[in-house]
Structure 1
Amino acid sequence: MITHINLGSNNLEAAEAFYNELLSLFGGKQTFKSERTVYFTLGEGNGANLAINTPFDGNPATTGNGSMVALGAVDTNQVDAVYRKALELGGRCEGEPGERLGGAMYAAYFRDLDGNKLAVFCQPGH
């Protein structure tokens, strides 16, 4: 149903480097680049793809309060690895890796270089 998600950036070059490394942990790869957009295809079975772009209207990119992109991991080790990589690349912690919802979910939360909020999670035992 959802084909891709767009996140705004005020520094497309820095965002491209951040997401190239981060999404490689999911088997993702950059598949398109233009003057104002970088498009990533995620590994098979991971759902929607991700586009990073400068806003079409020319105004600065801003983050949406309450908006978040969630990335599905295969296990808790991948959640931990993605979270560590995001912080290593300059992302900010929004919630360290750990169990959520009474153990039904294992997740970590972080913000990218432009302040967009992302989660990486898995459902142990599913």
Structure 2
Amino acid sequence: MFLYITIGTNDLARAKRFYDAVMPTLGFESGAELDEEIGFRKPGERIRFWVTRPFDGRPATVGNGSMPAFDAADRAAVDAFHRAALQNGGTDEGAPGLRPYSPHFYACYVRDPDGNKISAVCDRDVGS
């Protein structure tokens, strides 16, 4: 459905440290590191997630109600994502656990150091 998703940052170096630690827990790798943005992808795929300084030069702000949710292979990956986020400057917005959206919807919610809300979700019956 989406070609890619972009979120803003006011400190690209800090965002890079955070996402370099968090994204590998879900199988993503760094795919681009430019002066104004960084991008992440699954190996062999196009970049689907960008973190960037806003093009208009104004400060990045968080979207109230905006939240990219990343597909996790299993519940252990959700746990690892949450743990890595908190260990690298993120804040907790909902610890890993089952949610009422479907019988196997296991998710966590965090905010990156810029305040962007992100999530990792495993919505498959792959065990705990």
TM over 0.5: yes
Q: Distance in 2 between matches of 1:83 and 1:34?
A: 26
Between the aligned residues of both structures, percent identity stands at: 38
Count of residues in correspondence between the two structures: 125
The residue that corresponds to 1:70 in the other structure is: 69
Q: Distance in 2 between matches of 1:44 and 1:15?
A: 23
Q: Which residue identity is paired with 1:111?
A: R
Where 2:26 maps in the other structure, the secondary structure is: coil
CA contact (8 A) 2:31 2:47 kept: no
Inter-CA distance 124–31: structure 2 relative to 1 (3 Å threshold):
closer
Q: Distance in 2 between matches of 1:2 and 1:29?
A: 19
Unaligned runs of 5+ residues in structure 2 are none
Where 1:30 maps in the other structure, the secondary structure is: strand
The residue that corresponds to 1:109 in the other structure is: 109
Q: Distance in 2 between matches of 1:16 and 1:48?
A: 15
Superposed CA RMSD: 1.9
TM-score of the pair, normalised by structure 2: 0.89
Q: Distance in 1 between matches of 2:66 and 2:15?
A: 18
Q: Which residue identity is paired with 1:85?
A: A
Unaligned runs of 5+ residues in structure 1 are none
Where 1:25 maps in the other structure, the secondary structure is: helix
Inter-CA distance 2–91: structure 2 relative to 1 (3 Å threshold):
same
Q: Distance in 2 between matches of 1:48 and 1:119?
A: 18
Inter-CA distance 83–64: structure 2 relative to 1 (3 Å threshold):
same
